[in-house]
A and B are shown apart, each in its own frame.
Chain A
């Protein structure tokens, strides 16, 4: 847990809107607007935020399913955002992804064994070895190895997600990006999949970037947590620190909105008004000031930078 496995700095993704084949785009949408963080090997960084805040886009840029507009993504020191197709293909062995929807992320016309074998075959591993490794991957994620001949529609949601995990594990990556891996599953199945992920981390030392909107899940699995709002990280801290003593008003509101596990437990209600502003026309200065309970006129002037407050905690707020 010392060296930085993944080092993201100044990551941006801007989409051009209203453009066409012969038309110049007139507006831009800043889905991700300057995100920086690091993940050490064997560590889990939770990435939370409401819908549309750019967490999934960030996740997809790290595995380069989405091209970056600006910024760098260093994996073991090498910037992958500028790699050519061939070099990137080899780098993919280090970073894998698990998708949110266990139904649409498996090709319905391929057998389970072939789905898990695909990454191995892509990198020229011989037939016999593919067979034994697929069997051990099935075993590792808790699927019976005689299920290899089944089709995805013959599995349950949880089993399908296990298949997705087996596919991600096949290349023995150092980092797995989990893009809301349990939000499509039942609560009981969620727990099984989360436990599987933590077991794998303990046994294989894999690092996770865990994207989610369920705070309970994030609190359970993460070592550190980053909170995103409108394409920026507003607060990042150790799990314990962030959940017990949130500093950014958005983090405070987010934690207050999470349902507590005890029905009679009284909680301080901190409600935000309105919707998140459109990322095509974000507010001037601090992006959160339009909904912030403690905003002051000065907040409209400059975008707050992520400042170090000590104890491994960083907050982007003028007033904290």
Chain B
């Protein structure tokens, strides 16, 4: 650290403000390499999925029996599957579903969990009732819930998101409730009451901002878990219906021809793995950044 600092100092002093920003960025990358690597991988994957119509070389659902199970080549970088569909195109398009599911599940679990957790943290009666409901929700296995939901309704992205959000909510609620219980006893909350701050402003100004840091970290882990969860469901055939490609369904279809064409499973598996890895790296890094500030307060 000391060595790199002495090297970068004269450079930073002699450069214009724009370069100063660059130097700050370089220092951030050096200090938090896991966030930098995670963000880089995730950006690439998100960009691929977002630009799918532009960069996917083929129609992901176009069947071409003449080109069945072709190994990776210049024409098909990731090879083709049992129906002659281009695996690269299917992986790029499939990422859209996986990422959207990951993001929505994280947003909904944290949003709903935060609201319920705040109520449980402030009302003893609501707490007693809500926490028993949460215990019950935690006892439901997500996969079984999804299978039941698909059996009752039609398979859709909403069903998948719902099935993945339900088991996540109690985790967030417990986290928020625990934080609220300790925060509301803090002297700065008493101080706010003493200067005449109204209850809803205490919630917004004093309680919620102090729960944000751990929640962001939790949200990244939920996002990673939801992407995996969607893949499980698709693999088990209770996710989105067949023509739609998701990473899980591409892997599931590739399973049948695994002995002949390992690439059908390998590439979506790699994308899935790297996405989850990058989100976890960012989450770990954020926790490192946000935690010292928490401990410095004491």
Show the binding face of A for B, using Cβ within 8 Å. Answer: 21, 60, 63, 65, 89-90, 92-93, 96-97, 99-101, 103-110, 118-119, 122-123, 153, 164, 167-168, 170-171
- One digit per residue, 1 when the CB lies within 8 angstroms of any chain A CB and 0 when it does not, for chain B 179-204 equals 00000001110111111111001000
Q: Is the CB of A167 within 8 A of B196?
A: no
Known A-B contacts A21-B128, A105-B188; A123 and B196 likewise in contact (beta carbons under 8 Å)? yes
Least CB distance, B214 to chain A, in whole angstroms: 13
* Chain B residues in 8 Å Cβ range of A96: 194-195
A100 to B186, CA, bound (A): 12
Q: Is the CB of B297 within 8 A of A107?
A: no
* Chain A residues in 8 Å Cβ range of B293: 108, 153
* Chain A residues in 8 Å Cβ range of B125: 21
Q: Is the interface of B mostly helix, strand, loop or mixed?
A: helix
B188, B193, B210, B298 — most chain A CB neighbours (10 Å): B188
Least CB distance, A139 to chain B, in whole angstroms: 20
* Chain A residues in 8 Å Cβ range of B255: none
Least CB distance, A67 to chain B, in whole angstroms: 12
Least CB distance, A253 to chain B, in whole angstroms: 31
* Chain B residues in 8 Å Cβ range of A106: 188, 191
Q: Is the CB of B188 within 8 A of A104?
A: yes
Least CB distance, B292 to chain A, in whole angstroms: 11
Known A-B contacts A21-B128, A65-B193, A171-B195; A109 and B187 likewise in contact (beta carbons under 8 Å)? no
Q: Which of chain A's residues has its CB closest to B212's CB?
A: A109
Contact of A122 among B186, B195, B210, B296 (CB under 8 A): B195
* Chain A residues in 8 Å Cβ range of B197: 118, 122
How many contacts A-B (CB < 8 Å)? 73
Question: Which residues, 36 to 94 on B, are CB-close (under 8 Å) to A?
Answer: none
Q: Is the CB of B210 within 8 A of A99?
A: no
Q: Is the CB of A170 within 8 A of B195?
A: yes
Least CB distance, A106 to chain B, in whole angstroms: 6
Q: Is the CB of A109 within 8 A of B210?
A: yes
A101 to B191, CA, bound (A): 11
A89 to B198, CA, bound (A): 8
Q: Is the CB of B205 within 8 A of A92?
A: no
| Interface residue B13 (Cβ < 8 Å from any Cβ of A) | no
| Interchain Cβ contacts under 8 Å between A and B, 11 examples | A92-B196, A93-B196, A99-B191, A104-B188, A105-B188, A109-B210, A122-B201, A153-B296, A168-B195, A171-B195, A171-B196
A118 to B202, CA, bound (A): 11
| Interface residue B243 (Cβ < 8 Å from any Cβ of A) | no
| Interface residue B32 (Cβ < 8 Å from any Cβ of A) | no
Least CB distance, A243 to chain B, in whole angstroms: 31
Show the binding face of B for A, using Cβ within 8 Å. Answer: 124-125, 128, 186-188, 190-198, 201, 205-206, 209-210, 293, 296-298
Contact of A167 among B191, B201, B297 (CB under 8 A): B191
A160 to B174, CA, bound (A): 33
Known A-B contacts A110-B205, A153-B297; A167 and B195 likewise in contact (beta carbons under 8 Å)? yes
Least CB distance, B297 to chain A, in whole angstroms: 5
Q: Is the CB of A107 within 8 A of B206?
A: yes
A167 to B201, CA, bound (A): 17
Contact of B194 among A63, A103, A109 (CB under 8 A): A63
Known A-B contacts A153-B296, A153-B297; A101 and B194 likewise in contact (beta carbons under 8 Å)? no
7 smallest CB-CB distances across A and B, nearest first, come from A119-B195, A105-B187, A109-B209, A107-B188, A92-B196, A122-B196, A89-B196
Q: Is the CB of A21 within 8 A of B124?
A: yes
Least CB distance, B237 to chain A, in whole angstroms: 46
Known A-B contacts A21-B124, A107-B188, A108-B210; A65 and B297 likewise in contact (beta carbons under 8 Å)? no
Q: Is the CB of B191 within 8 A of A105?
A: yes
Q: Which of chain A's residues has its CB closest to B294's CB?
A: A108
Q: Is the CB of B193 within 8 A of A104?
A: no
Least CB distance, A93 to chain B, in whole angstroms: 7
Least CB distance, B132 to chain A, in whole angstroms: 12
Q: Is the CB of A65 within 8 A of B188?
A: no
A105 to B297, CA, bound (A): 11
A254 to B237, CA, bound (A): 78
A104 to B190, CA, bound (A): 10
Least CB distance, A81 to chain B, in whole angstroms: 15
* Chain B residues in 8 Å Cβ range of A100: 187
Contact of A103 among B191, B195, B209, B298 (CB under 8 A): B298
Known A-B contacts A107-B206, A107-B210, A153-B297; A99 and B187 likewise in contact (beta carbons under 8 Å)? yes
A107, A119, A153 — most chain B CB neighbours (10 Å): A107
Least CB distance, A122 to chain B, in whole angstroms: 5
A90 to B125, CA, bound (A): 29
Least CB distance, B289 to chain A, in whole angstroms: 15
A25 to B198, CA, bound (A): 31
* Chain B residues in 8 Å Cβ range of A164: 191
